[in-house]
Chain A
């Protein structure tokens, strides 16, 4: 390359040299401008509230709490994007189980119309999980007012109604969920359970069948369907279905009951023995075996099995009744009378519980009724149910000291 000495350059040479210098600077300027533009573009893109929100959502999915929190805080500082930040924070807190705080943020974010559906739906979830069923219903309804096809909001609405004991409303919502989520087997299964509990076996059978059409791989639903068929006195059909299930204590006990109904007593006996081999303390099998012994005139065996059954579940009226029969046959009149007395006491509670349950379905805002249902459930040894009813009472009247202390006592004892 030819080197030139600037001092020796002529005027035209100087002009050429100056132009070259300028051109070199232009490239620097151009490059700088490009870098600036790219940087600006990159910065704009990455520092925009939308992107922060997007990153926050993505981090929520991956469980990256710090990122979610950082993006949420940055959004909360960004004018016009505060509600997005609150939503992110609410979603994160709800996942962390900090329900009270989550509800606060979610309710604030729900003021933004574009976020209201999701914010209310998740708020409904948090409220439901906090036992605030009435508020959960309100939040679900706020979401559904904006989008009646929001299936998740309807699920929380159904769950809240159900736990409040407003079964009729729950069924209505579940029916809609079943239509709006046609591949989901769960709503129809829950409808089946509700129908079974109220002894509407034809309805229960229909729901269970529908649930199994949506997902055939639900062994527990198959067993529930078989139980309903048996209750409908279709033991042969129930036996066919039970034959398709993995043998478990539940399945074997149901099978035994069906076999008894069709007069196959020996096989029923074997089935119950097998159930008790799988689960030696499985109460329904113990009770059924005791009854079978009584039917077959094996009174001493019946006495033994039923005594164990009563010990296992002292709150079951049937067990006391069957034991009283066995004792009476054995000539133990005093023992038989004692068992009958216990049976009657338990039955009185069962009748009261049944009435309270029916009344609760009609009176969705009666806290006292729910507290009493909790008390009766506790006396019947149904602690899960007792908790459920106490919580329902508190949902209606948070100042209900009796329910709160009963719940507290229950939690402490278990």
Chain B
């Protein structure tokens, strides 16, 4: 904020002193799934300073993809700054995670067009083949940004929603290896500039609903020319030049159609939404929503269980920075960093602002703890985007990964291309920046945007895929050492929507409780695999696993050996 704080006298003295069908209801089952590459003899250690390392396997993976924003067209539009996301999901249910990447777009004569998205099918560990053509998911009607994935028609196969400038596109997974564009018939007729979206059953009817975050009111008719720094006559305009757009919420009807329920949901009339996450943040059995807004207050919507929301961001302390000022917020995730069982909120922000870790104190109250958790010390010189809580070193606490890079072309204070961040959680007491020693990808600068996590090689730990702007997407293999024990649980809803968004699993290992929750949305423009990962450290088993579905259903299991993937179907 510009403040002219020097009095005239000072100056003088200084100078002169002198749509979703519910078809399948799978039986209640606890089915240990075969792991593809489980390490049979993990090297166990209790060290808190294990080496988190991610190896760049992009070349090996054959994922050759670059999100294009067409900045070479020199429109200097704010549209070019958002970039794209990534989704990790098993589209063909063959047990291997696949990767979907929205393609971006092009500028034309006062119009934009979409570049095709790409779907990469994993055929062997770290070997992908592009199947965009045969699956028919490529065409993009709009300049695209995000990918929100969930099984919205409850057929056991994940569907893909693509966000972007001018509209949404919903691709329904046909289960036969192909997708069908069902946007029109689903009545997702949003025409605004959408960024991130989050699936979730907001009104508790067992059918997935959709929250769509909208950004600013940019158009070719509202396209100011903004001066760049010295030597650059023009640059991308800052977000303050544009008014925010209202977010939208669609309630699924269960017949494949959606109703615009924004008015009845009680959403705020403005905002500049970028990241969104749906999770049961107050643990009252319904899905709440947190929205990252750019340069204006963030929203924390508390759900009354019927899909009516109250924005409690101001009173909860999650609207602003620790100084009470709005941040330029982009990415978001929900996790329990300190193991107290309460979902905390993590938000990535613009340069000169600290990324915000809001500790959940219960009763709808949060505390901005970035400073005391060592996050402020990392530096505020990053422009943060996609992010995920990820127990990278499998020691039981959730670490953080953040992709960074600037939004404008000619930044003055910080570089345009920036290094990502890997923050190691030291038992919930502090985060330590271990980026330097976390592998080559993390030691280099990138134009990072969307981030998704998922166990691509089935070895029990989560890997990462990052989408960049005009730079190849990166596929990162988690090769942290020493290799610790792990446990993965996949939840399938029955009374709840099949994607089980909002379901929570609490693993008790000795005197520690690890809480994980399936989130809708999260990160930025991206969707991560919905399996819940637990780092067991040296423990051989989970003493007790309690699963609570968003419908209220609950299941408790005891003495489950680690190093396996367990699929749990919600008891009816």
Q: Which residues of A contact B (CB under 8 A)?
A: 125, 128, 152, 155-156, 158-159, 162-163, 165, 167, 177, 186-187, 189-190, 193-194, 197-202, 231-233, 235, 260-263, 265, 291, 294-296, 317-318, 320-322, 324-325, 328-329, 333, 336-337, 340, 343, 347, 350-351, 353-354, 357-358, 382, 384-385, 388, 391
Contacting pair A295 B3 (CB below 8 A):
no
Chain B residues lying within 8 Å of A337, measured Cβ to Cβ, are: 315
Given contacts A187-B15, A291-B322, contact A197 B8 (CB under 8 A): no
Q: Which residue of A lies closest to B323 (CB)?
A: A318
Inter-subunit contact B352/A199 (CB<8 Å) = yes
Can you name the residue of chain A whose Cβ is closest to the Cβ of B381? Answer: A233
B323 contacts across to A, CB distance below 8 A: 318, 321
Residue of B nearest to A380 (CB): B3
Name the residue of chain B whose CB is nearest to the CB of A125: B16
Chain B residues near A201 (CB-CB < 8 A): 413
B352 engages A388 (CB within 8 Å): no
In the complex, the answer to whether A329 meets B371 with C-beta atoms within 8 Å is no
CB–CB B3/A353 < 8 A: yes
Contact with A156, one of B2, B16, B352, B372 (Cβ below 8 angstroms): B16
Query: Closest residue of chain A to B324, judged by CB?
Result: A321
Check if B4 sits within 8 Å of A388, measured CB to CB. Answer: yes
Q: Return the chain B residue nearest A341 by Cβ.
A: B314
Contact partners of B371 in chain A: CB under 8 A? 260-261, 295
Contacting pair B367 A190 (CB below 8 A): no
B310-326: which have CB < 8 Å to A?
A: 314-317, 320, 322-325
Kindly provide the distance from the CB of B110 to the nearest chain A CB, expressed in whole angstroms: 28
User: Do A328 and B317 touch across chains, with their CB atoms under 8 A apart?
Assistant: yes
Whole-angstrom distance between the Cβ of A227 and the nearest chain B Cβ: 12
Q: Assess whether B4 is in contact with A165, with CB atoms less than 8 Å apart.
A: yes
A391 to B173, CA, bound (A): 68
Smallest Cβ-Cβ distance to B12: which chain A residue:
A159
Cα A235 to Cα B380 with chains together (Å): 12
Which residues of B lie under 8 Å from residue A325 when comparing CB positions? 317, 367
As a 0/1 sequence over residues 211 to 249 of chain B, the CB contacts with chain A under 8 angstroms (1 = contact) are: 000000000000000000000000000000000000000
Residues of B within 8 A of A262 (CB): 374, 377
Query: What are the residues of chain A within 8 A of B10 when measuring CB–CB?
Result: 193
- Contact assessment for B376 and A233 in the assembled complex, using a CB-CB cutoff below 8 Å: yes
The residues of B that contact A155 with a CB separation of less than 8 Å are 15-16
Roughly how many angstroms separate A322 CA and B325 CA in the complex, as a whole number? 11
Q: How far is the CB of A325 from chain B (nearest CB, A)?
A: 5
Complex-state Cα separation, A158 to B15, whole angstroms: 9
B12-A358 in contact (CB<8A): no
Contacts of A235 in B (CB 8 A): 377
* Chain B residue at smallest Cβ distance from A340: B314
The distance from the CB of A55 to the nearest CB of chain B, in whole angstroms, is 24
Q: Which of A152, A324, A385 contacts B4 (CB 8 A)?
A: A385
Q: Which residue of B lies closest to A287 (CB)?
A: B323
B2 interface neighbour in A198, A263, A324, Cβ under 8 Å:
A198
Which residues 182-230 of B sit at the A interface, judged by CB distance below 8 A?
none
**B361 smallest CB distance to A (angstroms):** 7
**Chain B residues near A347 (CB-CB < 8 A):** 324-325
**A385 with B2, Cβ < 8 A, contacts A233-B376, A295-B371 known:** no
Q: Is there an interface contact between A354 and B367, defined as CB atoms closer than 8 Å? A: no
Which A residues touch B4, using CB under 8 A? Answer: 165, 167, 197, 357, 385, 388
Contact B5 A233 (CB under 8 A): no
User: How many Å lie between the Cα of A155 and that of B11 in the bound state?
Assistant: 10
Instruction: List chain B residues, Cβ under 8 A from A291.
Output: 322
Could you tell me if A388 and B1 are in contact, using CB atoms closer than 8 angstroms?
no
Q: Are B2 and A197 in contact (CB under 8 A)?
A: yes
State which of A163, A197, A261, A321 has its C-beta within 8 Å of the C-beta of B5. A197
Closest B residue to A329 by beta carbon equals B365
How far is A232 from B316 in the complex, measured between Cα atoms in Å? 28
Q: How far is the CB of B109 from chain A (nearest CB, A)?
A: 32
Cβ contacts under 8 Å, B361 to chain A: 329
Q: A155-B16, A343-B324 in contact; A328/B6 too (CB < 8 A)?
A: no
Q: Within 8 Å CB of B325, what residues of A? A: 317, 347
Q: A232-B381, A321-B323, A325-B317 are known contacts. Are A385 and B15 too (CB-CB below 8 A)?
A: no
Q: How far is the CA of A159 from the CA of B7 in the complex (A)?
A: 11
* Residues in B neighbouring A159, C-beta threshold 8 A: 8, 11-12, 15-16
- Chain A residues within 8 Å of B55, by CB: none
Shortest distance in angstroms between B300's beta carbon and chain A's nearest beta carbon?
13
CA of A351 to CA of B296 in the docked complex: distance in angstroms? 12
B11 touches A162 (CB 8 A): yes
- Is B6's CB under 8 angstroms from A295's CB? no
Question: Cα distance A329–B10 when bound, in Å?
Answer: 42
Q: Does B253 belong to the interface (CB within 8 Å)?
A: no
Given A232-B381, A261-B371, A294-B367: A354 touches B324 (CB 8 Å cut-off): no
Interchain CA distance A261-B370 in the complex, whole Å: 9
Residues in chain B near residue A177, CB distance under 8 A: 15
